[in-house]
Amino acid sequence: MICPICKDTNPQFIFNFFDSPAMQNKLHVTLESALMEEKVSVNLYGCNECGFVFNADFIDKKTEYSSIYDNTQDDSIYFQSYLIKLAERLDKKYQLFDKKVVEVGCGKGHFIKIIYDLGVKNIRGYDPSYIDYNKNIDRLVIKKFFDDKNVDEKVDFIICRHVLEHIKNPDLFVFSIEKCLNVGGSMYFEFPSLEWIVKNEVFFDFFYEHCNYFSKRSLSFLFNKIGLGNIVFNYGLDGQYFQLDISRGKCSDLKLLDLINFDDISNFLSNKINEYKKMVEEMGTFIVWGAGAKGVTFLNRLNISVEKCQYVIDINLNKQNKFIPITGQEIVSPKILKKIDVNTIIVMNPVYEEEIKKMASSFGYNGKFILLH
């Protein structure tokens, strides 16, 4: 076993999840397809040298990022506001209006559109899951995985949001991105914070699509080895995401950055899963709000049946009338609350609490909410 970042040969075993869906955000049009989603294992290891946590069983060919994949959160007013503020900050800090900009893994193109509408016209995106939706943005997106060979000339600013956690060899990937950067250019990276996951004991934030889990120490090690030592750490979405402003520069002293205790991860995973299994067993029927990776993993990790939870609510229209992989719940609009009698909604991400409560109330719901971290 070798750490993918620092190549240390003695990583520590943390935890093993069996029978996980290979794709949390795959759109299953039929129940039969959802029930047949491939089951895989998540075999977590941690490196005591650089602090990186990874799924040793990950095989990238088992994940398919195409038009049948959707992990967008942009239908949320809260999340849209988050993206707009982020775009405005980057535009102001880096003066993007006259820069050559690339977004690696642009998804459905929503962030590119926000940047474009701010006046940044020289921007390109790369993502095979992109679906045409706006004539101005469609021409800016290349429906392929990013490859430095596809970039004709070097660029001034590179955006990479929620991609690096999906890449089996993150060092090679970052190196290929860095090759496309002009002298004096900068980058913005964003992905989940391992520290936040551990602090809040979020067992359902470990799933197959995310083969990498980054701590501050492991990130510093990763970017420093490529010569990207100028790193400014910020945090987004109430601390859930790392927000990194990165450029070439002097490497920092890794010894000043603490290692995460991997035994703590093993213990909280075991304890939390047992705790929530007991909670679900003692509950009546309920609905889960959020059909993203958190909701899918929660249902699968606890093996929650359709008899216990028949529906999962999601405001993403593209997910509605689809099905949760393996456990088989139907994904529905919040309008379902007008038609069924349910007294408990489990909210998968507390940052959307007020938005969800307001929407549920508008459809006549007056039951209980359980907020998960």
Q: What is the pLDDT of residues 300-328, one digit of tens each?
A: 999 999 999 999 999 999 999 999 999 99
Low-confidence ranges of the chain (pLDDT < 70): 252-256
54: which strand partners? Answer: 45, 212
136, HSE (Cβ side, Cα atoms, 13 Å): 12
pLDDT tens digits for 11-59? 999 999 999 999 999 999 999 999 999 999 999 999 999 999 999 999 9
- Domain boundaries, given as residue ranges, for the chain: 284-371
Check residue 323 and give its pLDDT: 98
Query: Buried (b) or exposed (e) across 153-172, using 16+ Cβ within 10 A?
Result: eebbbbbbbbbbbbbbebbe
- β-pairing verdict for 241-247 and 230-236: antiparallel
What is the CB neighbour count within 10 angstroms for residue 64? 14
Instruction: Please name the residue that has the structure tokens 């600013």.
Output: 157
Check residue 151 and give its pLDDT: 81
For 144-174, the DSSP string reads S---GGG-SS-EEEEEEES-GGG-SSHHHHH
Question: Nearest-CA neighbor of 292 among 215, 207, 363?
Answer: 207
348, HSE (Cβ side, Cα atoms, 13 Å): 20
Check residue 74 and give its pLDDT: 87
Check residue 279 and give its pLDDT: 95
Exposed / middle / buried, residue 46 (Cβ in 10 Å: 0-12, 13-18, 19+)? buried
Check residue 253 and give its pLDDT: 63
Class of domain 284-371: alpha beta
Check residue 213 and give its pLDDT: 98
Question: Nearest-CA neighbor of 325 among 287, 307, 299?
Answer: 299
Quote the CA–CA distance of 93 and 96 in Å, as a whole number.
Answer: 8
